[in-house]
Amino acid sequence: MFKRLDTDTLNWILIIGVILFIIELAFFHGGMIASAMFSALFIFIGWKNFTKLWGKIFFWLGIVGVVFAVLNMLAVRFLIIAAIVLFIINYSKSKKESEFIKPGLSADQEIILDPIIKVKPLFTHRIFEDQKTDDTAYQWHDINIHGAFGDRTIDLSNTVLPNDTAVVSIRHIVGNIEIYVPYEVEVSIHHSSVFGRAHILGEHHWKLMNQSLSYKTEKYDTTLPRVKIVTSLLSGDIEVKRI
């Protein structure tokens, strides 16, 4: 932000800040400056006796007092408001003056447009609703979703996984996740949870507290097809099992 300021604007801000500081000294008998100095004395005394309980109390009271005194100074208030206004103005200018880079082409070069196909995802992002894959056969697409509340159920036995690494990524707040994986598919799981339980291919964790778990089948690195599962929950259970 300051790189975009011209020197005159910065100078005027500093001049006005100094004037307000002088006004506070001259017409408000020191104002918050006296309070800041008094609080600084508390800090000094508390620091000298920091090993004692009353010293710690003096020190932290002084810190709080200095912070409040500084924030209540006219000059500091002006500088804070000026910084906010300048940030808004410069952000508005940067949006209007966004740099647009267009590569140039020589005369003997031609533009080749890559054909693209729009793919409909298996899941859409939903905040307050349970979601599950179709009970009938469906075409596989990698899953990358986030949500807030509800359960998520993914059955991989009703689809044909690619002869590569399929990806399932779920970021969720509150709810349970169930993933069913066919026996012939190799699996890698990375799960993080603040509160909950995990049942992953026969491994049981009955109490997760801000933990991350990682598992993979023995032949995951060498055998296809395989699926990589990455999940995160604030509160909820995860179950990954064969079907």
pLDDT tens digit sequence for 128-185:
666 777 666 777 888 888 888 888 888 888 888 888 889 999 998 888 999 999 998 9
Angle subtended by helix axes 32-48 and 7-27, to nearest 10 = 90
pLDDT tens digit sequence for 131-147:
777 666 777 888 888 88
In the structure encoding, which two tokens stand for residue 89, read together? 């103005």
Distance from C-alpha of 207 to C-alpha of 104, rounded to nearest angstrom: 59
pLDDT tens digit sequence for 198-214:
999 988 998 888 889 99
| Per-residue pLDDT at 1 exceeds 70 | no
CA dihedral 133, 136, 142, 143 (to 10 degrees): -10
Q: Which pTM was predicted?
A: 0.52
Return the domain boundaries, the chain. Answer: 2-96, 131-242
